[in-house]
Amino acid sequence: MSIFGTDGVRGEANTAPMSPDLILKLAQASAYHFMQKMPHEWIHGDHRFTIVIGKDTRLSGYMVEAALMAGFVSMGVDVILLGPLPTPAVAMLTRSLRANLGVMISASHNPYQDNGIKFFDGDGCKITQADEKRIEQFVVSNEVPLAPAARVGKAKRLDDAAGRYIEFAKATFPRGERLDGLKIVIDCAHGAAYKVAPKVLWELGADVISIGVEPNGLNINLDSGATSLAALQQKVLETKADLGIALDGDADRLMMVDENGAILDGDQLMALIATVWLANGSLKGEGVVSTVMSNLGFERYLEDKGLVLHRANVGDRAVLELMKEKGCNVGGEQSGHIILSDYATTGDGLIAALQILSLIQKSKVKASEISSTFTAVPQILKNIRISQMIDLSSEPVHQAIMNAEQELGSAGRLLVRASGTEPLIRIMAQGDDKTLLLKVIHNVAEAIRDHGCLAA
């Protein structure tokens, strides 16, 4: 039984694996696994094994939170409920509170119908695949011993959770600097950062215009946030703002637009941060870690700077692992997950935005003057919805992929992969010849179509 995907557990709410009965079992299995893994570390005087739980603003979050809480306390575990907070805030508070485990209830950029669960260890890092497999085994075996009545855990809410994260985020902004005089539009996607992100910018001195801050449980990511920038672009132009910031539903993603509405994606933002940090001596590892999805233009730009682009598999866990291996402190994804390991253990859209805002304030130039650090090569992504899983190594799909790679040669890159969160095959091609890119994508898509696994 496979419960975990690329980024924790995810699926349609109230349907397996995001059904209450399975969530409860998952909570019990994960608590049991980690209590076994650290048998001498989870009782210190009055302190018992403790798990913090945060969530975004989805309607189903109430159901998932209740099922998790029930499962955890039934194992003799104490629970601290954080309420709606960004994913990176949950990772930070897991460390800050010296909790044994952190849990974020979110399906990130997905629509409200979906929900998910992300687990963090005591250091605020995503748990390992080995941990996930062991938890799955306990769920399947259904042989997790519950706590006796006298040892059932307790749950409480942390009233100042948001305030703690706000102060943490502000502390990452260079000491003595302010955002006075800067007009910023921020789109919180009606998600987890709808309260904290505008407050951070306001308290640092900015003139803040907030959109996407009226969650109703059903509108998270709806025509807003980092995956839908039209509303942000319109508001920036309408209000003559200096720039716009877009977060996704759980605020671990960042996209920005300049005063003209031009988009800065994750590659451009990482390039900007790396350039500044290289100049001031803060960049570590002589490069940046990104993924197989990052633009070839980004890689060429770093090469011109004498830096290396290390490519990891898709997913911020894979990025962080490679960052540790290479000793880098800047990493992320084109989609806007940006990890600055000097400050955070996971993608944090707000903290990454603060680094860009600091650059703009110091340089005293318009966002458009720094928004195109490199020239991106044409990059085309085609998503194919499938009705059943496909083996990409099978004929004739594998042959079509090989033929496409040969046609692109050294002037381009091709990536064909199954989505870890949706029933999709993603085909991405990039290079200098857009016509050739369209041709190879079409050929690979036709091979998949001929394989007979497309959704109706």
DSSP codes joined into one string, 267-329: HHHHHHHHHHHHHTT---TTEEEEETTS-HHHHHHHHHTT-EEEEE-SSHHHHHHHHHHHT-S
| Helix ranges, 7-126 (H) | 20-37, 61-73, 87-96
With beta carbons less than 8 A apart as the criterion, state whether 68 and 29 touch: no
DSSP codes joined into one string, 363-376: HT--HHHHS-SSPP
Can you say whether the dihedral through the CA atoms of 256, 262, 263, 264 is positive or negative?
negative
Using CA atoms, how far apart are residues 271 and 277, in angstroms rounded to an integer?
A: 10
Can you say whether the dihedral through the CA atoms of 288, 294, 295, 296 is positive or negative?
positive
Give the three-state DSSP class for 257.
Answer: strand
Using CA atoms, how far apart are residues 382 and 438, in angstroms rounded to an integer?
A: 10
Q: What angle do CA 65, 71, 75 make, to 5 degrees?
A: 140
Q: Note if 108 is an active site residue.
A: yes
Give the three-state DSSP class for 117.
Answer: strand
With beta carbons less than 8 A apart as the criterion, state whether 243 and 257 touch: yes
State the helix-helix crossing angle for 61-73 and 20-37, rounded to 10 degrees.
40
Query: 74, 108, 290, 294: which is the annotated catalytic residue?
Result: 108
Catalytic (active-site) positions? 108
